[in-house]
Each structure stands twice: as C-alpha cells, then as structure tokens.
Structure 1
Amino acid sequence: MKVPTDVIAVLGHAETNGSRLILTGTLDRKLYLDTAKVIEAAGGKWSRKERAHLFDGDAIDAVEQVILTGEIVSKKQQFGYFPTPALVVKRLIQFAKLEPGMEVLEPSAGRGAIAGPIAALGCHVDCIELQRENALAISDAGIGRDLAVVDFLMVEPFEAYDRVVMNPPFARQDDIRHVMHAHRFLKDGGLLVAVMSNGVTFRSTPLTREFQAMLAAEGGGLHSLPEGAFKESGTGVNTVIAVIPKGAS
C-alpha cells in the first residue's frame, strides 16, 4: 500500500512516546482521515482517553517504516545493514571526487561494497564495521588498509581523513547520528558523502533539525536517489545522498 506524500509529511512531524503517537499541527478533515487510515493499517488504534494513537510496541518503530519506505508493509523491516548496490556506489564515488592517495574512512563498511571500489582507485581506505561476519568478509578480501570491529559511534573522533564515504544504518534516525559523528573525522577541506533516508528532507524531529542546521552551516546539499535504488538489497527505503564539506575548501 503506497502512502501519499502529504501523509508521510504529517507522520514525519508526529510526536511519539513509547506506544503513543500524537499528530501535531492543524490538519484538514481529508488529510486527517487519510493519515488515520495509514496509522490504523500500520497497527495503531485511536484512544479517546489518551488522545493519541496507540501501538502494541513502540510507535516510532511502526511509523518509521512508513516514513522510510513510503509504504505500509505486512512484514516488519529492520533498517540496519543493506549492501550498497553498484549504481549507488558509483554515485557516491562521483560525488566524493576521489583522487589517488587520499585518506578515506568508510565507517559502516558492511562487506566492502563501497570500500572495495574506493581502494581500487588508489585511495588509502580505513574501514569500521560492527558485525564480525561482515568484517571477516572485508578482511578475507584484503580490502582497505585498516579494519576496526567496533561500534562506530563509540570511536573518539580524530581529524585524519580527506573523505568519508558511507551507507549508515537508518533505524531510529541512526543515519543522522552516524553522519554527524563521521563529519568530525574529516580534515578541514574534507568532504563527507553518505546515503541517508529521505526523511532528512521533511521530518521535524530535534535530531533532524540539528542535522539540517549543520548541513546549512557547512554548505552541504542533498541529492535524491531514484525510487527503488535499494530494491536489489531487499528494502524499499527511499534515500538521498548527502554531500557535506568541512571547513576550508
């Protein structure tokens, strides 16, 4: 079931607290009814007493699937590791403007779909990957210069890289957390290029607003990817590419 874009925008501005979802702003009757229909299809039930839609589990998990994919799906998706398709890797590399000898960080390296082609261009690539089985695949393939098996968000930033190129996890806006953390690893004049959920273009959460302020301050931009760009990887998540410089150009 495809969800209209105006309903997705309403959900992107909604407030969640545990199992509760509260719509914000003033909605006309048709938009409210359309939104309520989507919420009910996603598992939410209106509670007059709570003045909110209630879900069996966390409301954010249910509504996030709608925001990320633009659809109501019958099976719950997890928005963690999805291999980056070759066409998306090509776009990332184009935006990154890589040159041989550059110091590059790939902080959500998966099995090396991004890091491998970058290393083949003559760049010095360091990889960080949380899942050991993925890290083993990178190691076995001989990709990159250094490999750390650790939660990237737990790594203390150090300004060492000309480029960061990444496809972070998306669950609960983890893409924003990873991108903002990764930006701190760039040298002045460096550039970050990342796949992100297109929710960063319209959501109005505190985290989204913080990201949008950083994007504007650094003179960055967002570039849409085609619908279904990650279909071959098993997800209908809608995505953009963020291109964010740091400091002096």
Structure 2
Amino acid sequence: MAEAAVKIADDVAEVLRSAVADGNVVRLPARQLDRKLYQATDKVLQALGGKWNTKAKGHVFANDPAEKLASALSSGRAVDELLTRKKSLQFFETPADLAGRLCDAIKIGPCDICLEPSAGHGRIVAAMRERFPFSVEAVEIDPDNCAVLREQGKVSVGRLHCADFLDWAVSEEAYRPNKIAMNPPFTRNQDIRHVRHAFNVLAPGGQLAAIVSEHGFIGQERETVEFREWLTDVRADVEIIPAGAFKESGTAIQTRMILIRKAR
C-alpha cells in the first residue's frame, strides 16, 4: 500500500504559501508552473483531501482546508486522509467487475429486496440497481461515505442507514432482504461477524454473497474454527479470489467469495 504521508518539498511549499484558500477551494498562484512542480503540488493537495475542479479553477475540499494546509506546511508532511481512513475503516472499494459477480451469484431479479451491509461508495449498490430489484437497502458506518451515497442518489431516501451493521436490525419485517451482497471490513475477524449477522438478517430462502479474508480459513482461534464449521453447516460454496483483484483499491491480498442459500 502507498505511504499515508507525502513529504512537501521546498519548491512545493513555496507554491502552497502563495495559494489562496477561498471557502473550500484552494487556488494556486496565477504564474505558470512547470509540469513536474505542478504534479508534486497536486499530489500534496490530493493527500490533504483536495480534488482538482476545472469549473472552480482550483482544488475543491469537503470543508475549509486552511487549517490542514497550514499544519502540513508547518510539519513538512501532508497526511493522506483517504489512505488513513481506509486503514482505520478497512474501506477498500469493491472493483466493479467483482461487485457484478457478487450480484450475479445471488441472481438478483425484479422481485428481490436487496441489502448491502457495508456500502462504502456504492459499488455493490450500483451493481444491484443495474439488475432492477424491487428495492435496495444500504448500511454504512462512515458519515462521509453516507454523504457520498446521498449525493450520488444510489440509495432511495429512507433506505440508507448510517450505522454500524453489527448493531443494525431490519426495522420492517416486510422489507427483510432476500438477497445480500457484501464486502465487509476484515480486521480482527470483523468479516466473520458481519457475515454471520447478515445471515441472521437474511429472509428464509434468501441468498448471501460475501467477500471475506483468507484468515477465516486458516486461523486457529476459536472464532475462525467455529466459522469454518458454520460454513459447512450452512453448505456454503467457497471460491478463492486471487491476490490482485483489489489492486485498484490499494490492497493486493488474496480473498475468498462465499455463497450461502438460507433454508426456508
């Protein structure tokens, strides 16, 4: 994974000290920067959370960047907030083709009530919607990711829940999902707990597809041993997803896809 901090070179620092912060937009000085210097400056601004916007003629941030910019110049380092959040939240976005495979594995159709328990930026949600189910429900723990989902309009009003899925329960029995596709966080066996909670939420006769870590299949602690026994009990199908499938999302670990059909 890339480093979570970017060192600020002296020439980049000089450019940033001349930049103007206007609300949530940072505009670089009017003088022409050579390509190498601009790229280095852009890298620092992206690490701080900014994204170039042609219409705004500057790097747009989610909120006022003046304080974080001053802090970065003082320390000489720009902490990559996205990578830091990925590490803390275990948010590694599901590649679009893999999201599609998850949805195809559970055969989403027009009568289905779908759930994505760790929605992130909505890759799996988008794949669900492409298959035109009756409804799509999403749970996401991070408020910033929830804001992205709202802005993109991928989840209907009232069907997006900003909550920890492990503490979440279906509010209406009529909307109990019969199709669940998920890519939960992996650390400290969170994926095991998320999958087992999803199975409890799943309607009888429903199907669940999940990406999980390799650790659940090789670990020797009680939780992983019981997980493997449980997968056997529910007759789960398991497929290895080769290392590199998540390369675009910043990680190259091997994972597995599990498919479960719940008895009626």
Please say whether Structure 1 and Structure 2 have the same fold, judged by a TM-score greater than 0.5: yes
CA distance in 2, matches of 1:177, 1:157: 17
1:232 is matched with which residue? 248
Q: Match for 1:153: what amino acid?
A: L
Q: Is the 8 A contact 1:78 1:171 kept in 2?
A: no
1:84, 1:233 within 8 Å by CA — same for their partners in 2? yes
1:246 equivalent to 2:246? Answer: no
Q: Report how far residue 212 of structure 1 moved.
A: 1.4
Counterpart in the other structure of 1:46: none
Instruction: Considering Cα pairs closer than 8 Å and 6+ residues apart, tell me whether 1 or 2 has the greater RCO.
Output: 1
Cα deviation 1:101-134 (Å, max 9, x = unaligned): 2001101000101001201211111000011111
In 2, distance between residues paired with 1:95 and 1:87?
12
Q: Which residue of 2 aligns with 1:121?
A: 131
- The correspondence for 1:218, drawn from 223, 234, 243, is 234
**Offset of residue 188 of structure 1:** 0.8
Specify the alignment match of 2:43 in structure 1. Answer: none
1:156 is paired with a residue whose SS is coil
Alignment equivalent of 1:111, drawn from 99, 121, 136: 121
Q: Structure 1 CA distance, aligned partners of 2:118 and 2:187?
A: 14
CA–CA separation in structure 1 for the residues paired with 2:107 and 2:181: 11
Matches within 5 A, 1:26-65: none
Contact 1:167–1:195 (CA under 8 A) maintained in structure 2: yes
- Determine if the alignment matches structure 1 residue 97 to structure 2 residue 110: no
Determine if contact 1:194/1:241 at 8 Å carries over to the other structure: yes
- Name the count of aligned residue pairs: 173
Counterpart of 1:138 in structure 2 is 149
Deviation at 1:144, TM superposition (A): 2.5
Q: Structure 1 counterpart of 2:217, which letter? A: T
The answer to whether structure 1 residue 80 and structure 2 residue 80 are counterparts is no
**Aligned structure 1 segments of 4 or more residues deviating by more than 2 angstroms:** 156-159
CA distance change for structure 1 residues 130 and 161 in 2, over 3 Å: closer, same or farther? same
Q: Deviations over 1:40-84 (max 9, x none)?
A: xxxxxxxxxxxxxxxxxxxxxxxxxxxxxxxxxxxxx55711110
Code of the aligned partner of 1:147: L
- The equivalent residue for 1:187 is 203
Which amino acid in the other structure matches residue 181 of structure 2? Answer: V
Give the 3-state SS of the residue equivalent to 1:114 in structure 2. helix
1:150 aligns with 2:163: yes
TM-score computed with the length of structure 1 as normaliser:
0.66
Deviation at 1:210, TM superposition (A): 1.8
2:39 maps to which residue?
none
Q: Distance in 1 between matches of 2:247 and 2:89?
A: 13
Is the Cα contact below 8 Å between 2:96 and 2:127 reproduced in 1? no
CA displacement at 1:96 relative to structure 2: 1.4
Gapped regions of structure 2 (runs ≥ 5): 1-86
Q: Could you tell me which amino acid in structure 1 is paired with residue 129 of structure 2?
A: A
Give the structure 2 partner of residue 207 of structure 1: 223
In structure 2, C-alpha distance between the alignment counterparts of 1:184 and 1:84, rounded to whole Å: 23
Identity of aligned residues (%): 35
Distance in 2, Cα, partners of 1:127 & 1:235? 24
Q: Distance in 2 between matches of 1:152 and 1:235?
A: 23
- The runs of 5 or more residues in structure 1 that have no matched partner are 1-76
**What one-letter code is carried by the residue in structure 2 that aligns with 1:173?**
N
Greater Rg over alpha carbons, structure: 2
TM-score for both structures, normalised by structure 2: 0.62
